[in-house]
């Protein structure tokens, strides 16, 4: 780094650091004045907002709406109730081919996808039951989520237990305080379904049952046949609708902005910061930006549901491990890789975006071995994008990626498959893997992770994005560059 570059960076650091430090000092040295009026613009959030935004101008051009291009980002925050109802109707149409006129959904993600009811998955069991001709689903849920149920697609059908474990007759919220051994909640749920009534003679379930669960079904609903329709649900959820892709596109607009923010912060503070600080600053900026631009309705339930923003940063040797179990805490290091991860969803739509930086050494030189791993893994991202068109076979894409890696001398650094399907849960079938012969349908969405890892030399490089299966090729949702101009930096 020459003296001119150092002077420029020092100015940038002093300007930004002064603003942030001002916020910190005002809260540490003036604790006695905390009950007084705070000076405007002296918070950490305000200081982050005032950071330079040089990198946003370097994002790839926004091209929306064409063939094999992302749709224009949605202006809405969530999928409307009408969308959930249409998906439920479509599921009934598919299930009818198996003689199913009643559905029982037990996976939290499936419940949310088909009803719009979103809840925290804990040890408390929940499920949704609906007959084909019902006006709204019937819910089995704990009292803790009663307001969430009632403020959604609901017409009074429910069976509520107080909490887990549930004592028979114990409802303190009704003035009934009882203690006894907890009841069997699955039987309690099935009795509620029996009392509500089952349309037809079959119930479609989103998965298989354990033998003990099947025995309870046979005891309480002896004339009802259980039909696994998990494959129909997977088939539907694999293909994204236009509404989902528009929200996906909106989520990735935040991905690009926070990746640009993280790059500016990194170039401003360089090796003076830890990867933890880069993560925390970027995530605070992201969440404040994201939530301030959503319609949260003053904190009302069922608004802003499924919108999250997270950032992870890892510097140095920890990148050499595909799934590290150690904390990410290191000074930003020269002559080392640095990964910036963003995970963002808007209205349950979105995914992950990883970029791999190569940091030069003190003399400005880039490690040749690490650079070679970077180049091969980056090109594998392009192989997946180019091959991911409707009708392509997952295993064939995986073969092309791994063959390129092996042909370029990377066999010792291959630890993982290339990609997984993307949905609310994060990972779902299909997989860009040698053992997956799934034929990709148009508008399916995959991650992009052809990582290479060398724990001996303590370097590793992994990427990700959302690649949508297109007509002639796949297309990425992100506009964050994969180039050396963006990612090879001298600090």
User: What does R_g of the chain's alpha carbons equal in angstroms?
Assistant: 26
Final residue of a domain: which of 194, 228, 262?
228
> Scanning the structure block, which residue is given the tokens 């439920």?
88
Q: Which residues contact 425 (CB under 8 A, 6 or more apart)?
A: 109
Is 86 a domain residue?
no
The enclosing domain of 136 has a CATH number of 3.40.350.10
Q: How far apart are CA 170 and CA 330, in angstroms?
A: 51
Instruction: Provide the domain limits for residue 127.
Output: 101-228
Whether 174 and 275 map to the same domain: the answer is: no
Q: What pLDDT, on the 0 to 100 scale, is given for residue 281?
A: 98
Record the tokens describing residue 253, joined without a space: 């607009």
472 and 335 co-located in one domain: yes
Please indicate, yes or no, whether residues 341 and 416 belong to a single structural domain of this protein: yes
Do 215 and 262 share a domain, yes or no?
no
Q: Are residues 261 and 205 in the same domain?
A: no
Q: Which of 202, 228, 254 is the last residue of a domain?
A: 228
Residue 210 contacts residue 188 (beta carbons within 8 Å): no
Nearest to 140 by CA among 181, 175, 190, 194: 190
Residue 396's nearest CA partner among 370, 440, 434, 426 is 434
pLDDT tens digit sequence for 182-214:
999 999 999 999 999 999 999 999 999 999 999
* 312 shares a domain with 363: yes
245 assigned to some structural domain:
yes
Q: What is the pLDDT along the chain (491 residues), one digit of tens a residue?
A: 444 444 445 544 544 545 454 444 444 444 444 445 555 568 999 999 999 999 999 999 999 999 999 999 999 999 999 999 999 999 999 999 999 999 999 999 999 999 999 999 999 999 999 999 999 999 999 999 999 999 999 999 999 999 999 999 999 999 999 999 999 999 999 999 999 999 999 999 999 999 999 999 999 999 999 999 999 999 999 999 999 999 999 999 999 999 999 999 999 999 999 999 999 999 999 999 999 999 999 999 999 999 999 999 999 999 999 999 999 999 999 999 999 999 999 999 999 999 999 999 999 999 999 999 999 999 999 999 999 999 999 999 999 999 999 999 999 999 999 999 999 888 999 999 999 999 999 999 999 999 999 999 999 999 999 999 999 999 999 999 999 999 999 99
> In Å, what is the CA distance from 440 to each residue of 122, 394, 446?
33, 7, 10
Tell me if 158 is assigned to some domain. yes
Pull the structure tokens for residue 282: 């970027």
**Domain CATH for 411:** 3.90.230.10
351 phi/psi in degrees, rounded to 5: 180, -135
Tokens of 365: 């030189």
Quick count: other Cβ atoms within 10 Å of Cβ 465? 29
Specify if 359 maps to a domain: yes
**Residue 469 resides in a domain:** yes
Same domain, 217 and 245: no
- Domain assignment present for 464: yes
Cα(448)–Cα(82) distance, rounded to whole angstroms? 32
Residues 371 and 438 in one domain: yes
pTM: 0.91
Cα 2 to Cα 316: distance, rounded to the nearest angstrom: 24
**Integer Cα distance of 469 and 472 in angstroms:** 9
Cα 463 to the center of its chain, rounded Å: 15
In a domain, 138, yes or no: yes
Q: Which of 178, 194, 228 is the last residue of a domain?
A: 228
Is residue 151, in this structure, part of any structural domain at all? yes
| Residue whose structure tokens are 């992302």 | 70
How many structural domains does the chain have? 2
User: In this structure, are 180 and 131 located in the same domain?
Assistant: yes
**DSSP symbols for 281-303:** HHHHHHHHHHHHTS--GGG-TTS
Instruction: Say yes or no: 336 and 221 in one domain.
Output: no
Q: Where are the alpha helices (DSSP H) in 98-145?
A: 108-115
Is residue 154 classed as helix, strand or coil in its secondary structure? Answer: coil
Pairing relationship of beta strands 349-359 and 488-489 according to DSSP bridges: parallel
Q: Are residues 186 and 287 in the same domain?
A: no
Let me know whether 214 and 247 are in one domain: no
């Amino acid at each position: 780094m020459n003296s001119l570059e150092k002077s420029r960076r020092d100015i940038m650091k002093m300007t930004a650091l002064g603003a942030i430090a001002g916020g910190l000092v005002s809260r540490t040295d003036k604790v006695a004045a905390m009950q007084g009026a705070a000076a405007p613009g002296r918070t950490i959030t305000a200081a982050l907002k005032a950071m330079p935004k040089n990198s946003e101008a370097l994002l790839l051009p926004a091209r929306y709406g064409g063939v094999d291009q992302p749709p224009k980002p949605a202006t809405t925050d969530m999928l409307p109730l009408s969308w959930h109802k249409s998906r439920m109707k479509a599921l009934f149409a598919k299930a009818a081919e198996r003689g199913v006129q009643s559905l029982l959904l037990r996976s939290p993600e499936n419940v949310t996808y088909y009803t719009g009811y979103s809840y925290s998955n804990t040890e408390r069991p929940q499920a949704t039951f609906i007959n084909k001709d019902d006006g709204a689903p019937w819910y089995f849920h704990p009292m803790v989520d009663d307001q969430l149920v009632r403020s959604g697609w609901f017409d009074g059908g429910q069976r509520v237990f107080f909490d887990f474990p549930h004592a028979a007759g114990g409802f303190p919220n009704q003035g009934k305080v009882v203690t006894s051994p907890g009841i069997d909640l699955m039987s309690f749920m099935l009795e509620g379904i029996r009392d509500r009534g089952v349309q037809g003679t079959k119930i479609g379930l989103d998965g298989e049952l354990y033998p003990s669960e099947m025995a309870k079904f046979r005891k309480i609903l002896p004339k009802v046949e259980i039909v696994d329709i998990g494959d129909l649900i997977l088939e539907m959820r694999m293909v994204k609708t236009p509404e989902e892709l528009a929200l996906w596109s909106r989520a990735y607009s935040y991905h690009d902005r926070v990746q640009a923010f993280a790059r500016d912060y990194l170039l401003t503070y360089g090796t003076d910061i830890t990867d933890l600080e880069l993560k925390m600053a970027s995530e605070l900026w992201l969440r404040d930006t994201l939530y301030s631009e959503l319609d949260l309705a003053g904190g009302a339930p069922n608004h802003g549901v499924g919108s999250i923003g997270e950032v992870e940063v890892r510097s140095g040797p920890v990148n050499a491990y595909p799934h590290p179990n150690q904390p990410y805490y290191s000074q930003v290091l020269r002559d080392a890789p640095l990964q910036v991860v963003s995970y963002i969803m808007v209205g349950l739509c979105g995914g992950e975006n990883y970029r791999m930086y190569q940091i030069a050494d003190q003399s400005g030189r880039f490690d040749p071995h690490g650079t070679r791993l970077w180049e091969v893994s980056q090109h594998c991202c392009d192989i997946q994008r180019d091959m991911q068109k409707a009708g392509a076979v997952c295993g064939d894409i995986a073969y092309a990626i791994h063959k390129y890696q092996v042909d370029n001398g990377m066999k010792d650094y291959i630890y993982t498959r290339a990609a997984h399907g993307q949905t609310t849960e994060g990972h779902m079938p299909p997989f860009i893997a040698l053992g997956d012969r799934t034929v990709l349908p148009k508008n399916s969405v995959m991650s992009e992770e052809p990582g290479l890892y060398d724990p001996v030399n303590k370097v590793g490089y992994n990427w990700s994005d959302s690649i949508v299966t297109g007509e002639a090729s796949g297309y990425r949702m992100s506009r964050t560059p994969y180039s050396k101009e963006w990612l090879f930096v001298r600090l």
